[in-house]
């Protein structure tokens, strides 16, 4: 139903240029004025070509991929429940 998206962090030198131009490459989630970075979401199918295009922009210093999709987010509890030993 929803397309698969990946997160990227774009480090930039010019806030005004970043706020104008980054919207056409993906969904800008957050722009940090103080630290000069933007958190964005782009389609996973076009991730590599979008990163290459962003790196060519004159105000972009560095582009980093988010590895959140690759981290296991389902946890299991293998520790036995000790509450039954401490009941009155």
> Is it the case that residue 88 has pLDDT exceeding 70?
no
Per the structure, the count of domains in the chain is 1
| DSSP one-letter string for 15-46 | HHHHHHHGGGTSEEEEEETTTTEEEEEEEGGG
Q: What is the pLDDT of residue 58?
A: 95
Q: What is the pLDDT of residue 22?
A: 94
Which residues form the domain of 50?
Answer: 5-68
Q: Determine, yes or no, domain membership for 43.
A: yes
As beta bridge partners, residue 32 has 37
pTM over 0.85: no
CA distance 38 to 15: 9
Which is it for strands 27-32 and 37-43: parallel, antiparallel or unpaired?
Answer: antiparallel
CA distance 54 to 10: 8
Integer-rounded Cα Rg, in Å, for the chain is 20
* pLDDT tens-place string over residues 20-70: 999 999 999 999 999 999 999 999 999 999 999 999 999 999 999 988 878
Q: Determine, yes or no, domain membership for 76.
A: no
Contact 63, 9 (CB under 8 A): yes
CATH number of residue 12's parent domain? 3.30.70.80
Q: Determine, yes or no, domain membership for 42.
A: yes
């Amino acid at each position: 139903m929803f397309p698969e998206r990946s997160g990227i962090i774009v480090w930039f030198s010019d806030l005004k240029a970043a706020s104008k131009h980054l919207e056409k490459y993906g969904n800008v989630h957050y722009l940090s004025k103080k630290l000069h970075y933007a958190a964005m979401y782009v389609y996973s199918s076009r991730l590599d070509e979008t990163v290459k295009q962003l790196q060519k922009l004159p105000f972009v210093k560095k582009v980093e991929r988010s590895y959140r999709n690759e981290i296991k987010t389902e946890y299991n509890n293998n520790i036995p429940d000790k509450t039954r030993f401490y009941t009155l």
